[in-house]
């Protein structure tokens, strides 16, 4: 049983602590991955702050890239030494949702494996089936996609969550067609990828909405045609003026209740609101239901961009290698594991697109 270094959450809203913990060997259908990079997602921060509950101690982190270093029995399509992206999408492959091409909402009720323990035997939670704020992980084979060797690990790890969530939200969940208009509320990591997804899918105009003019400028570099400050009165009116009409798709990429309550205001007839950002448990929003009923509008929840990872991630990797998908530009800072609390604090300010922890493979 290898002993690895990991950043452990021992109390909500407190700094993570670097500990040496034990990682068991992969069992049937599982793979051990020695990590090269892991990005910090706002979901990791929300979990570490206790926004959605959960058991402690825990290791968070779920946007990872690394090399396969051990295989459990029966693993197929993955070989030793290959570079892989590690996702939190653990699919049974046999439930009704998996069988209909919706693995992000798998209902297979697969038991959560216990793979991490402290040296004294205390169980450590492998959060989101990953626990990737660590030197190694053991995960189910369904969570992995083999990646090209010529892609840097910083780019690979971004394809585990933020990129697929943003692009998939507008392409898969929002069913965006070429020539339609898109409004993206929130120009953070997921929002920038929703903007990229809209650009790649052929949107006519793309309006970014954010509270920061600096982030709106970044959004324009990723494909937004217009920017609207969320702090102004009735920002939806400015977006409609830019589009000349209500939008076809509005993607809410932040977990802020005001954003959700205003989102429907941006829509035109037949418009779709895609709900991506996750507010804290118990938070509620209010709507006037007669409007979407009369205007034939839809509210669509989107978990992880509704992706099928072994279909969608290779497509996105190919777009990156063609120069059509921006990944390198999403990396704001690079940190070691020992500096993870500094990286989290920088991410919490909202200015970073994605901060990445790099592991020494020397």
**For residue 313, what is the domain's CATH number?**
3.90.180.10
Query: Is the distance from CB of 232 to CB of 208 less than 8 angstroms?
Result: no
89 with 202, same domain? no
Q: Which of 265, 284, 301 is the last residue of a domain?
A: 301
Residues 287 and 310 in one domain: no
Q: Are residues 140 and 175 in the same domain?
A: no
CA distances from 141 to 46, 144, 250 (A): 26, 6, 34
| Domain match, 228 and 277 both | yes
Same domain, 29 and 152: yes
pLDDT at 361: 57
Print the SS3 string covering the chain.
CCEEEEEEECCCCCCCEEEEEEECCCCCCEEEEEEEEEECCHHHHHHHCCCCCCCCCEECCCEEEEEEEEECCCCCCCCCCCEEEECCCCCCCCCHHHHCCCHHHCCCCCCCCCCEECCCCCEEEEHHHCCCCECEEEEEHHHEEECCCCCCHHHHHHCCCHHHHHHHHHHHHCCCCCCCCEEEECCCHHHHHHHHHHHHCCCCCEEEEECCHHHHHHHHHCCCCEEEECCCCCHHHHHHHHHCCCEEEEEECCCCHHHHHHHHHHEEEEEEEEECCCCCCCCCCCCCCHHHHHHCCEEEECCHHHCCHHHHHHHHHHHHHCCCCCCHHHEEEEECHHHHHHHHHHHHCCCCCEEEEECCCC
Residues 250 and 141 in one domain: no
Q: How far is C-alpha 194 from the geometric centre of its chain's CA atoms?
A: 11
Would you mind telling me the total number of residues written for the chain in this entry?
A: 362
Domain boundary among 252, 286, 301: 301
* β 123-126/116-117 pair status: antiparallel
List Cβ neighbours of 132 (8 Å cut-off, separation of 6 or more): 35, 38, 59, 60, 61, 62, 63, 64, 86
CA distance 307 to 78: 20
Please give the C-alpha separations between residue 132 and each of 34, 112, 311, 358, in angstroms, as whole numbers: 10, 16, 23, 11
> Of the candidates 279, 234, 281, which has an alpha carbon nearest to the alpha carbon of residue 260?
279
Tell me, yes or no, whether 198 and 271 share the same domain.
yes
Q: How many domains does the chain have?
A: 2
Return d(Cα 4, Cα 126) in angstroms, integer: 14
Residue 331 and residue 244 in one domain? no
Same domain, 244 and 338: no
Predicted local distance difference test score (pLDDT) of residue 113: 83
End-to-end CA, the chain: 21
> Are 248 and 348 in a shared domain?
no
Measured CA to CA, the distance from residue 105 to residue 97 in angstroms comes to: 7
Q: Which domain holds residue 196?
A: 166-301
- φ and ψ of 229, to 5 deg: -75, 125
Identify whether residues 81 and 141 lie together within a single domain: yes
> Which domain-ending residue is among 261, 282, 301?
301
Check which CATH number belongs to the domain holding 250 and give it.
3.40.50.720
- CA 125 to chain CA mean position, Å: 20
Cα separation, 159 vs 163, whole angstroms: 5
- Do 155 and 190 lie in one domain? The reply is no
Q: Could you give phi then psi for residue 258, rounded to 5 degrees?
A: -55, -35
Tens of pLDDT, residue by residue, the chain (362 residues): 789 999 999 999 999 999 999 999 999 999 999 999 999 998 899 899 988 888 999 999 999 999 999 999 999 999 999 999 999 999 999 999 999 999 999 998 777 789 999 999 999 999 999 999 999 999 999 999 999 999 999 999 999 999 999 999 999 999 999 999 999 999 998 999 999 999 999 999 999 999 999 999 999 999 999 999 999 999 999 999 999 999 999 999 999 999 999 999 999 999 999 999 988 889 999 989 999 999 999 999 999 999 999 999 999 999 999 999 999 999 989 999 999 999 999 988 877 788 999 997 54
Distance CA 154, CA 39 (A): 8
């Amino acid at each position: 049983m290898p002993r690895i270094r990991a950043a452990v959450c021992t109390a909500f809203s407190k700094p993570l602590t670097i500990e040496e913990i034990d990682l068991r060997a992969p069992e049937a259908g599982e793979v051990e991955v020695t990590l090269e990079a892991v990005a910090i997602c706002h979901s990791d921060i929300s979990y570490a702050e206790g926004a959605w509950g959960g058991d402690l101690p825990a290791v968070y982190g779920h946007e990872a890239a690394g090399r396969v270093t051990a295989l459990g029995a029966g693993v197929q399509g993955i070989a030793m030494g290959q570079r892989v992206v590690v996702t939190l999408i653990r699919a049974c492959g046999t439930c009704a949702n998996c069988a209909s091409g919706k693995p992000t909402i798998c209902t297979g009720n697969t038991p959560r494996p216990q793979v991490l323990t402290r040296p004294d035997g205390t169980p450590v939670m492998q959060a989101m089936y990953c626990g990737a704020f660590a030197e190694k992980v053991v995960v189910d084979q369904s969570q992995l996609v083999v990646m090209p060797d010529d892609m840097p690990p910083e780019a690979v790890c971004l394809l585990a969550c933020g990129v697929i969530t943003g692009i998939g939200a507008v392409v898969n969940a929002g069913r965006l067609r070429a020539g339609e208009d898109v409004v993206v509320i929130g120009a953070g990591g997921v929002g920038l990828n929703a903007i990229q997804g809209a650009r790649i899918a052929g949107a006519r105009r793309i309006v970014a909405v954010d509270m920061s003019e600096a982030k709106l400028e970044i959004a324009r570099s990723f494909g937004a045609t217009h920017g609207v400050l969320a702090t102004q009165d009735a920002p939806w009116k400015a977006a409609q003026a830019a589009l000349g009409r209500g939008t076809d798709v509005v993607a809410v990429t932040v977990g802020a209740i005001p954003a959700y309550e205003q989102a429907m205001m941006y829509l035109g007839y037949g418009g779709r609101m895609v709900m991506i950002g996750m507010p804290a448990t118990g938070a509620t929003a209010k709507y006037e239901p007669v409007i979407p009923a009369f205007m034939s509008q839809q509210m669509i929840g989107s978990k992880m961009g509704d992706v099928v990872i072994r279909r969608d991630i290779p497509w996105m990797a190919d777009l990156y290698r063609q120069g059509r998908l921006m990944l390198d530009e999403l990396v704001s800072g690079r940190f070691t594991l020992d500096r993870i609390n500094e990286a989290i604090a920088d991410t919490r300010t909202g200015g970073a697109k994605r901060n990445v922890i790099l592991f020494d493979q020397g």
